[in-house]
Amino acid sequence: MKSLVAKVAAAAFVLFARAITAVRAIWPEEGLPARPCVYFANHSSHGDFVLVWAVLPPRLRHRTRPVAGAEYWLKSHTNAFIGRDVFNAVLIERDREKRTEDPIALMVSAIDVGSSLILFPEGTRNQTEERLLPFKSGIFHLVTERPEVDLVPVWINNLNRVMPKGEIVPIPLICTVTFGNALRIDPGEEKQAFLERMRAALIALAPKPAGSGE
């Protein structure tokens, strides 16, 4: 019963996201990897992973799990239902002092059983004028454990304008989700170089600001 409600709720979220944003995916030339992979995206809104989820082909969507902060998604029963049951999120504890489980181990075990992940390497929602915050090192530790995993950069455009932080009514605006070609960590690549390379690959997908005349 609970899983049926969760399925209906998931479909409703996707429908609502599509109605508001008319979201359109732009696929990479090489197509999406067929094997489990990590989609890493810019983060500016709570709706980010819904949008990525909504545009993925159903076959891939069903095995794709967002990685999200346990503090927020276990805060209330509703949040927990949405996070855990509807979107089947991999919930990680961000607070290093208090956490009981290693976030990297949780992500690795999800990949090992055939799930794909949606990851936001900025770690938190970007409220600044910067296009992208510096990446946290989680994604590096993940691929150090599983270097054969494909990393797909995903740029989510415009969703921060649809629903800025603190607003409750979304404004209908057209959003696009651009997927890049899959990347991997190079053998022996240093942490900082790797994080910079991933960040550059993600920024490269961002469209030029509207009205820039280019």
Partner 1 sequence: MTAAGSDLLTLVLGIFGVLIAASAVGYMLEQRLTADGPNAAVENLNARIRAWWAMVILIGLAFIAGRIGVLLLFAFCSFAALREFVTLIYTRRADHWALASAFFLVLPIQYYLLWAEEYGIFSIFIPVYAFLLMPIISVLRGDTERFLLRIAEVQWALMICVFCVSHVPALLTLDIPGYEGRNVLLIAFLVIVVQLSDVLQYVWGKLFGRTRIAPKLSPSKTVEGFVGGVASATLIGAALWWITPFTPLQAGLLSFIITLMGFLGGLVMSAIKRDRGVKDWGNLIDGHGGLIDRLDSVVFSAPIFFHIVRYWWSLS
Tell me which residues touch partner 1 (CB under 8 A). Answer: 22, 24, 158, 161, 164, 167, 169, 171-174, 208, 210-214
86 torsion bin: left (phi>0), alpha (psi -120 to 50), beta (else): alpha
Nearest distance in Å: CB 213, partner 1: 5
Pairing of strands 176-179, 24-26: parallel
| Residue given tokens 């993600």 in the structure block | 202
Nearest distance in Å: CB 24, partner 1: 6
Q: Which is nearer to partner 1, 1 or 210 (CB)?
A: 210
Q: Which is nearer to partner 1, 60 or 173 (CB)?
A: 173
What's the DSSP call for residue 91? E
Compute the distance between CA of residue 190 and CA of residue 210 in angstroms, rounded to an integer. 36
Nearest distance in Å: CB 176, partner 1: 9
Which residues are bridge partners to 187 per DSSP? none
Q: Tell me, what amino acid is at 25?
A: A
Compute the distance between CA of residue 154 and CA of residue 108 in angstroms, rounded to an integer. 20
Q: Which is nearer to partner 1, 21 or 42 (CB)?
A: 21
Q: Which is nearer to partner 1, 187 or 211 (CB)?
A: 211
Comparing CA positions, the residue from 44, 49, 38, 51 lying closest to residue 140 is 38
| Residue given tokens 């600044």 in the structure block | 128
Q: Which is nearer to partner 1, 105 or 171 (CB)?
A: 171
Phi first, then psi: what are they for 137, rounded to 5°?
-85, 0
Nearest distance in Å: CB 18, partner 1: 12
Nearest distance in Å: CB 111, partner 1: 33
Nearest distance in Å: CB 44, partner 1: 12
Q: Considering just the CA atoms, what is the radius of gyration of the chain in Å?
A: 17
Q: Which is nearer to partner 1, 102 or 167 (CB)?
A: 167
